[in-house]
Structure 1
Amino acid sequence: MAWARIQLFAFGLALSGGSGVLAATLLPNWKVHVDGGSGIITALVQMQGLWMDCTWYSTGMFSCALKFSILALPAHVQAARAAMVLACLLSALGICTSTVGMSCTRLGGDPKTKSHAAFAGGLCLLSAGLSGLIPTVWYTQEIIADFLDPMVPEGSKQEPGGALYVGFVGAALLLVSGLLFCASCLRMKPQAWVQAPGQPDSDPSYDRKDYV
């Protein structure tokens, strides 16, 4: 039953990772610029996200503006949008598929089918992790490069926001959960994966202990 517990642990990681990637996609603080200012009404914090830009003023007011125009956005923002949305969809698909492949559930039928489902769910989670990791790392690298560039004015320099950290951690959890699901299904005997011609589906030599 050790691998059953590992699958439960991986499922919890997948839920946390999927929630983190979804939160990072929606949060507006991918880029953050803090300006002390000396005026009465001054923008203290300016945040830029994939879907909206927000500003926090010294008076306590907080305003956001949605990015309605897709064509007016830079290419890297459009690519990050597509990658993060794909990561959310793949993580949801991986969570649903891995639920069928878990040995503690009654879904999926025979052990061979459940093993295939667990492997497919692991691949989806791995793909979701990679899809969420690429834009977060890319954004962080671009922000750090601009911040260290002496040609960029001090007033235009920005820092990585909290959404990047949330997205990075969520993508890492998805990668770990995907690896665990793929490893759990490979514990089965080879004859559970490859069936010789004319061999019946139920192999008496198959030991269920190898599966769980």
Structure 2
Amino acid sequence: MLSAAIQILAFALALLGVLGTTVATLLPNWKVSINVWSSIITPISQMQGLWMDCVWYSSGVFSCTMKNSVLSLPAYMQTTRAAMVLSCMVASFGLCLASLGLKCTRWGGSHRAKGHTAIAAGGCFILASFLCLVPASWFTNEVITTFLTTDLPDSSKYQPGGALCVTFISAGFLLAGGVIFCLSCPGKRTRRPDHTSSTDPDRFVLYPPQDKPEQDPKQKLYSSPSKLPPKDIKDSYSLQEYV
């Protein structure tokens, strides 16, 4: 099983991944417009996220509009929404399991139970990482394809935003933490040998008693007639008949 320091490092990476995934899910800059306006009444930048569309004006006003209609969103946007929320939930559950599987904690059961819990936490982190990578890659591909293939004006074109970078980095943290936790498989304990070194005065070994030579049956003493040999008992009965 891995050392406690490496497990703490994996827990820290997974925690950063969970925080980054949560922040990226809420950020509004999944794709950003490439056109920058110089007029006061026109927006400097337009950005779209999973939950809202925001506009930043040159006067310093920043306004956002929520995406209330789910059916009006494209398929890749709906899939990215669901996958990111599910990734946050799975990663949070993995953090709970990881806190039980750490060697530096006193809860979580025995040494072997902690190892199995750590492996389960690593599986949750790896699953959460793929739930981030797949929709983020699909989202990026859609944005780039739309930018290159459409004949829209520059004011209507978008490029990948900073939220996608945060998503990819967070997925890498989750993947690294999950792999490290999966290496926490408890090994087989070797059985200690029964013999000990003669130079260790603090340990004692009990040896089985040695076989002693049997004594002659005729030399044994019997305290009562019931313990006499069968032959002697028979002789005593025959003697009583004559008496």
- TM-score using structure 1 length: 0.85
Any idea what SS the aligned residue of 2:55 has?
strand
Q: Residues 86-101 of structure 1: matches in 2 within 5 Å?
A: 86-101=86-101
Q: What RMSD over aligned residues (CA atoms) do the two structures have, in Å?
A: 1.8
CA–CA distance in 2 between the matches of 1:36 and 1:169?
27
Residue 146 of structure 1 is matched in structure 2 by 146
Q: Which runs of 5+ in 1 are unaligned?
A: 192-203, 207-212
Unaligned runs of 5+ in 2: 193-243
**1:51 aligned partner, one-letter code:** W
If you compute each CA radius of gyration, which structure gives the higher value, 1 or 2?
A: 2
Q: Is the 8 A contact 1:35 1:43 kept in 2?
A: no
1:38 positional shift? 4.5
1:75-111 CA distance string (max 9 Å, x none): 1111100000011001100011011111111111111
1:154 deviates by 2.5
1:15 and 1:24 map into 2 onto residues whose CA distance is 14
Counterpart code for 1:183: L
**Structure with the higher fraction of residues in helix conformation:** 1
Greater alpha carbon shift after TM alignment, 138-147 vs 78-87: 138-147
2:12 aligned residue: 12
Question: Are the aligned partners of 1:4 and 1:104 in contact in 2 as well (CA < 8 Å)?
Answer: yes
Report the residue type matching 1:79 in the other structure.
Answer: T
Aligned ranges for residues 36-47 of structure 1 at < 5 Å?
Answer: 36-47=36-47
Partner of 1:83: 83
State percent identity of aligned pairs.
Answer: 50
Aligned-partner SS, 2:109:
coil
For the residues of structure 2 that align with 1:16 and 1:83, how far apart are their CA atoms?
Answer: 18
Runs of 4+ in structure 1 off by over 4 angstroms are none
- 1:138 Cα deviation (Å)? 1.4
Shift of 1:148: 2.4
Structure-2 residue corresponding to 1:156: 156
Q: Tell me what 1:196 maps to.
A: none
- Contact 1:98–1:118 under 8 Å retained in 2: yes
- Matched with 1:201 is none
> Residues 84, 205 of structure 1: CA spacing in aligned structure 2 closer, same or farther, 3 A cutoff?
same
What is the number of residues matched between the two proteins? Answer: 192
For residues 38 and 182 of structure 1, what CA distance do their matches in structure 2 show? 53
Partners of 1:160 and 1:131 in 2: CA distance = 19
Q: TM-score, with normalisation over the residues of structure 2?
A: 0.74
1:25-63 superposed Cα distances (whole Å, 9 cap, x missing partner): 000000000322353301111010000010001111100
